[in-house]
Amino acid sequence: MNAGYGLTVRWSLEGAPEGVAEQLREYVVGTSIARFMFLDGLAFKVWRMREGEWFEGTYVFDSEEERRGFRADFEPGAAEAPGSEMIGSSPTLIEEWEVVAIAEGPASFRRGAGPAVS
């Protein structure tokens, strides 16, 4: 039994405009979190960034069909996605992967902004 159906969407931040990391943080916390909290079939999404290197959305869906549907909706307009517009380029990677297992530790999952957002 599969624990989930993953999808990674990654942008390169090399050559991106100055201040884009802060702009991405503000967008994710101010707009994007709320959008994805109610996306049917999404188990969870994590936004990851290595400032100056890459920014990525990491998704886990409940079914392969839900992942396929999301990707089919996202990919044709990826160049116009908010992240692409802020960064100034399309994603460099859109990749599906298998979630073998998920272990939730005693601290459990937390919603909301990371340490770099006040």
Q: What is the CATH number of the domain that holds 57?
A: 3.30.70.100
Containing structural domain, residue 69: 4-99
Residue 22 counted as domain residue: yes
Q: Determine how β-strand 54-61 pairs with β-strand 4-12.
A: antiparallel
Identify whether 117 is part of a domain.
no
Count: domains in the chain: 1
* 64 located within any domain: yes
Phi then psi dihedrals of residue 105, to 5 deg: -80, 180
Q: Provide the H-helix boundaries in the chain.
A: 20-27, 33-36, 64-74, 82-87
Give the pLDDT score at 58.
Answer: 98
| Spans of the chain, pLDDT less than 70 | 1, 116-118
